[in-house]
Chain A
């Protein structure tokens, strides 16, 4: 395999001029044939091991920082829209809502319910104006289709200890697979929920497709700005 000097420098995590100097000073095993430098992979790996230097060819292909991908709309599509969730307390509402998440096997639903509850005990996820965003305290693993946001409309508003004291009529249950992803979706969701028109739109219990379209429209400028 032909590697450039800069790729080998990348493998060793040093600057290219450093690698050139090491070659000149004879600190690194290399064969010089005419003007060409040839590294023997086995020798190079042995050298790196002897010097306790990390060497990996994988690092040569500098992986671009993977932006947390996937928009809000896709996550909401995965979570689905659920209506007429009954219950008069936070516990009951969450229990009924989780029961609607049929993509989760029952033991996981139980686990999720417990985690959502323990998060509510820390402080309410009711962010005001009738909306709550219940989520587990730590990233949830073991489910294939993550992240997901389940939109759950309640059959009647329930007191959620929200910051503005108003009863909650809709839950967005957010399950992310990493903290990055969790924060990313939370931030986008919060951005959408700042829009009064969107809240009014939610109060009218829109059909699922209309909701997803509206979300996609709202988040487009965010996606374009790369944030």
Chain B
């Protein structure tokens, strides 16, 4: 073993003896790197966003300020569609798609493109969140590093999760939320193989953020003293938050579809959507941008407007977010969900104090906080992410009881009304969401080519029944493909079951040839066909096996018996972890 030979290329780090003994060690090291990079991306993005927002601040008083979000959305759309000719890689759904269908492979340009386009959208005042772009960027960094070291798919997926965890952990200074978000939302699989590197990445991301930005809790507040009435009332808030989540989800999709139908260039649609947001912002400035300042004010109890205005602001923020993102702007739903959640919480609190003024309710800030948990849990349909995020960003463990109630009830309501969360809806509709260990996942991994039975005896169309009986005697199968001896084309299939009556009739032995008795209308599958579709076809036609034919050539048979055997093996390999 020559160490020099192995060290000559630093990219071959995965082959060092230290890591060959156990790849978990390698994963932990890489997770550290990926988490830190994700954290750095988050800090850099945050700095850029703040700079742009502050630079535009003087213009916000001008009467034409409403066009600012429009210009931002326009530039963002132009950047995505013209400069990098790619509009599809920038959302969390794409990250989940990459994890679910592509073994975690993401394009390298996804490291930068979401950051730039979202910075334009949000910095100019569009109502969108800075988290999704950072998460996607972090995931793309993880994927890039995995490819650099030629890691396998499972490890690559873990590193994508690490990048996402590092990003979330860094943005919110919240390591547990990063970990839970990556596992619950991005990977959808709780296994120690994933959790350990992702936890390390979350720590790295958080530490990067703390070093560069200081260790501050995002939304600090006074201690809440929560009583029984508040806990009971939180169930009602959960319903409000759940409904608000469903409304936001549906409106986002509605406007997206509407915008798609109207036609016209993408940048124009984005600009129109942005300007509409600008108009709303003229009346209710709280809807503009990511909205973290507004959340701060609401939790601290400094948000003064009355019930009607807060309720209107809640709906306006939902509309503004749907307009920004649905019309082509770039960004996420994390921050808008937090703003909508705290607005909804505030609305609910004001309504409570109006109807039951005699009860001594807790401060409105607490309900703002609970509303955020409800919205996040509802939008992502990820209760744990909602609970941990709010606990960490508010530093308020004392609210944990109503927090759990709001998160779980809101998730349940959303799941009942919208079976798939905002991130997954599109993927589920396209049948692209394949969580590990599920039937669809196992089937999509297996290729028709892996199931081929090639030990079939091939016969020619001119073969007489007499000769064929000799073939049957020596064969172990009940299916005999008929192949043209000259062109080698597949002509049809002889099934033993179909010709059984003739086998015992010696008069036919020389009178019948294979070409006459074969089934030439037999349904065939191709080697590239989707296994799920092949199976559905077999079920519909009540077939037990099918010939696989590629460009007229017979490749083999595919049968349910082999499929069961291989399916079971695949399931065992996919679901048992060491």
Residues of A participating in the B interface, judged by any CB pair closer than 8 Å: 12-15, 17-18, 21-28, 31-34, 47, 50-53, 225-227
Contacts and interface: CB of A to CB of B under 8 A. Distances in A.
A14 B153 contact: no
Interface string B561-578: 000011001101110101
Contact of B15 (A14, A18, A26, A32): A32
Contact of B470 (A12, A53, A225): A225
A27 B450 contact: no
Nearest to B154: A26
Interface of B: 12, 14-15, 20, 103, 150-155, 445-447, 449-452, 470, 473-474, 565-566, 569-570, 572-574, 576, 578
B154 A27 contact: yes
B573 A53 contact: yes
Contacts of A53: 569, 572-573
A50 B20 contact: no
Contact of A26 (B151, B446, B451, B566): B151
Contact of B572 (A24, A25, A31, A51): A51
B450 A17 contact: yes
B155 A26 contact: yes
Nearest to B153: A25
Contact of B573 (A31, A51, A226): A51
A13 B566 CA distance: 9
Given A13-B569, A18-B570, 16 more contacts: A13-B565, A14-B569, A15-B452, A18-B450, A18-B566, A23-B152, A25-B154, A26-B155, A27-B573, A27-B574, A33-B15, A34-B12, A50-B576, A51-B573, A51-B576, A227-B473
Contacts of B570: 18
A34 B445 CA distance: 25
Nearest to A9: B450
B14 A28 contact: no
Contact of B152 (A15, A26, A34, A47): A26
B397 to A, nearest CB: 38
Contacts of A50: 576, 578
B573 A22 contact: yes
A50 B449 CA distance: 27
A47 B474 CA distance: 38
Nearest to B453: A15
B451 A15 contact: yes
B450 A32 contact: no
Contacts of B573: 22, 27-28, 51, 53
A50 B565 CA distance: 18
A15 B562 CA distance: 11
A15 to B, nearest CB: 4
B447 A17 contact: yes
Contact of A18 (B446, B473, B572): B446
Chain B CB within 10 A, most for which of A12, A23, A33: A33
Contacts of B445: 21, 25
Contacts of B566: 14-15, 18
A17 B572 contact: no
21 contacts: A15-B449, A15-B566, A17-B450, A18-B446, A18-B570, A23-B152, A25-B103, A25-B154, A26-B152, A26-B155, A27-B574, A32-B15, A32-B150, A33-B15, A34-B12, A47-B578, A50-B576, A50-B578, A52-B576, A226-B474, A227-B474
A81 B155 CA distance: 73
A52 B574 CA distance: 12
Contacts of B576: 50-52
B152 A25 contact: yes
A25 B152 CA distance: 5
B474 to A, nearest CB: 7
Contacts of A25: 103, 152-154, 445
Nearest to B152: A26
A173 to B, nearest CB: 27
B368 to A, nearest CB: 44
A227 B467 CA distance: 13
A51 B573 CA distance: 6
Contacts of A14: 450, 566, 569
A225 B450 CA distance: 34
B569 A32 contact: no
A15 B152 CA distance: 19
A52 B452 CA distance: 23
A224 B447 CA distance: 40
Contacts of A34: 12
Contacts of A22: 573
B104 to A, nearest CB: 10
Q: Which of A14, A47, A226 has the most CB of B within 10 A?
A: A14
A47 to B, nearest CB: 8
B153 A24 contact: yes
B474 A26 contact: no
B386 to A, nearest CB: 31
Contacts of B565: 13
Nearest to B15: A33
Contacts of B451: 15
Smallest CB-CB A-B distances: 10 pairs:
A26-B152, A26-B154, A25-B153, A15-B450, A18-B450, A17-B450, A51-B572, A51-B576, A27-B573, A17-B449
B450 A26 contact: no
Nearest to A32: B150
B116 to A, nearest CB: 32
Given A25-B152, A27-B154, A31-B20, A52 B572 contact: yes
Contacts of B569: 12-14, 53
Nearest to A31: B20
Contacts of B474: 226-227
Contacts of B470: 225, 227
Contacts of B103: 24-25
Nearest to B19: A31
Contacts of A28: 573
Nearest to B155: A26
Contacts of A225: 470
A198 to B, nearest CB: 22
A70 B512 CA distance: 35
A24 B152 contact: yes
B578 A26 contact: no
Nearest to B565: A13
B153 A26 contact: yes
Residue of A22, A27, A53 with most chain B CB atoms under a 10 A cut-off: A27
Nearest to B12: A34
A225 B576 CA distance: 49
Contacts of A13: 565, 569
| Most chain B beta carbons < 10 A, residue from A26, A32, A34, A227 | A26
Chain A CB count within 10 A is highest, among B15, B447, B450, B565, for B450
- Name which of A14, A18, A23, A53 has the most chain B CB atoms within 10 A of its CB: A18
B205 to A, nearest CB: 24
A224 to B, nearest CB: 12
